[in-house]
Structures are given as C-alpha cells and as structure tokens.
Amino acid sequence: MVTLKQLAKELNVSISTVSKALNNSDEIGKDTRLRVKALAQSYNYTPNKVALSLKQNKTKTIGVIIPNILNHFLSKVLFGIEREANKHGYTIITCISNESLEKEKEGLQLLGNGSVDGFILSIAEETQTKNEIEHFKATIAQGLPIVMFDRVAHDVQCDKIIVDDFEATFNATKTLIAEQRRHIVFISKIDKISVGKLRERGYNKAVLEQGLEPLVLRIKKGDDAQEKIKQLYKKNPAIDGVVAADSASGVIAINMARNFKRKVPQDISVVGFSSKSVSNHSVPKLTIIRQHAKKIGAKAAEFLIKRIEDGAVPAQNYTTKIIKTTLVKNKSTL
C-alpha cells in the first residue's frame, strides 16, 4: 500500500499538502492539487483504514454477534444488516456465539477493544436460560451502543427490534380454528428461547380461548424430528392442524402427513414460521409466518448507525420496534 509519505516524497511536497489536496481542501492550489491527485490515482492510493480509525476514533465497523449462522432466519437478518451497513459505508465483523454465553462475552470483549463502533446482536440460548445481562450493560457503559434483535433482553436499556411472536401464533392458530380445526398441535424445536416461549403462549391462548385441548410437541436437540413427528401422528390420529414454531418442523409435518394417508390441507392444515425458500421444500408448499428477516436486519443497522453518528447523545430514548409478521398463505392451509 502506498502512503501519503511516499507520495509526498515523490512530489517533493509535504505530507500535509498531499493530504489536503486529496481531501479537496481549497487551501491548496489547483495545479498542486491536480498533480497530487494524478499521482495518487496512478498508484491507486487509498487512505489506510486503520490509521484513519485511530485518528478519528471511529472504525465505521459494526460488530454482529449471532447465535447460529446456520439458522436461516438469522443469516437472513445478517444479510439485511450487511446490506444496510454497506449503504452507509460501514462494514460488519461477525462473531458466532454458537448459543454459548462464554463465546458471546468473548465476542463483546474482543471487538469492544476499539474494533467496532457498536454492536448488533441476538442473544445466545445459554445467556437466556442463565439470564445473564451484565456483559451487555458493561459494553453499553463503555460507550458502545447495542441494538438487539429477535431474542432480546428486556432488562437491558438499548434499542430493540422484535417480532410479534405471541400474536403471530395466536393469529395463525385462530386461522386454523376458523377452518374448523379442533385438534391443533404446536411443534417446536425452540422451546428454550424467549421467542419460542412466546410463540407457544400465543398458540396456547388461542386454543384455550376456544376450549380446545393444547397439544405440544417439543423436539430436543439431537432428536430425529421426522421420527418424533411420525410418533405424534401415530399417537394422535385426530390431529387436523399444525402450528410450527421453527422452519423445519412445518415442512416435515406436511411431508410426513402423507405417510399416514392424510391429505394436506384437506385433512391437516399446517402453518409454520419459515421463509419463502424453505416453504418450497414441501408439497404442497407450507403456509408461512414471514418474519421479514432482511427488514429486521436493515432496521437494526439503521438504528445502530443513527446511535453511533448522533454521537454522545446521552444514551436514552431507547426504541423497541416491532416488525409485524405476515401470514403468507400457501397450499398447506385452506
């Protein structure tokens, strides 16, 4: 990489002249400016980002800590973050907590040393079960803003972007009830995390309101989801509706139903939290609760960048933005 120093030497001018010329300062004479620019161009000069960061005490970089990049929803949010960040001239540096509290802390620590101007994160499962929030508070106290999305800690003062999980399943369940379904099961692989709990509650409320019996299938890590759902159908032949809290369960529920000679949507109606691409993995296509992951990511980035650039505004006026889900009807419901 060429530096200002080298350019200055070659042009027989001072470093500051070069710097000013490149920054279009009107202190510098036109001809000098042009000469400098020409040479810089020819060397393909670009200012060293690290030096700039040190000097200006800002990195134009956002730290993103997500629990699991193999989760389609989360990687879609990441995509949204990246795109929005880029628009504003920011890059993102990613840590994957792998649902571990320790790795989450490490990420915060590692990037908190001046590497980033702020964080966007979704909380690890372990952090949620242990209910730890001190590391977030410490980071914020250190002057680094945090924006949380999806899985958030309500006791931490910061901007948040969440989904209307409770209402989403409540409404989805009611939709099935309106189809005259009376034996609706709720399937979840995410019963441990906050959003999973909310979704289960939404389902429960809708079912109980109608005097129906709730039936919940929780799939643990390491379980064979197909097998569990098979057993479920076997034991409960009356099932005529499925609400799935995660993207795979809905798809499997549809594909497995046919093994029991049950037609979707005639005999069983299925709806699940998922994305368009995954909804394609079942025939008929899964009716989905869309979470608008990219939008969530974009909003999170927007919020964070605003915080960063509004500078040392006394941290306050924190917003919690709810991105409403949309029910996209495909052919797995009537």
151 binds its own copies (CB under 8 A): no
15 binds DNA (CB under 7 A): yes
Q: Which of its own copies, DNA, none interacts with 13 (beta carbon under 5 to 8 A by kind)?
A: DNA
Within residues 37-96, the interface with DNA by CB under 7 A covers 47-48, 51-52, 54-57
User: In this structure, are strands 184-188 and 215-218 parallel, antiparallel, or unpaired?
Assistant: parallel
Report how far residue 71's alpha carbon sits from residue 76's, in angstroms, rounded to the nearest whole number. Answer: 9
Within residues 218-277, the interface with its own copies by CB under 8 A covers 225-226, 248, 251-252, 255-256, 258-259, 277
- Kindly report the backbone phi and psi dihedral angles of residue 59, in degrees, each rounded to the nearest multiple of 5, phi listed first: -110, -15
Nearest distance from C-beta of residue 183 to its own copies, angstroms:
21
**Cα–Cα–Cα angle for 303, 168, 299, rounded to 5 degrees:** 10
Report how far residue 97's alpha carbon sits from residue 119's, in angstroms, rounded to the nearest whole number. Answer: 13
- Kindly report the backbone phi and psi dihedral angles of residue 120, in degrees, each rounded to the nearest multiple of 5, phi listed first: -120, 130
95 binds its own copies (CB under 8 A): yes
What are the Cα distances from residue 145, in Å, to 85, 158, 287, 315, 323? 15, 7, 37, 8, 21
Query: Is the CB of 8 or the CB of 254 nearer to DNA?
Result: 8
Give the one residue of 11, 13, 15, 110 binding its own copies; rule: CB under 8 A.
Answer: 110
19 binds its own copies (CB under 8 A): no
Residues 6+ apart with CB under 8 A from 46: 1
Which positions touch its own copies (CB under 8 A)? 1, 44, 46-51, 53-54, 59, 61, 69-70, 72, 75-76, 78-79, 82-83, 86, 91-96, 109-115, 138, 142-143, 225-226, 248, 251-252, 255-256, 258-259, 277-278, 280-283, 285
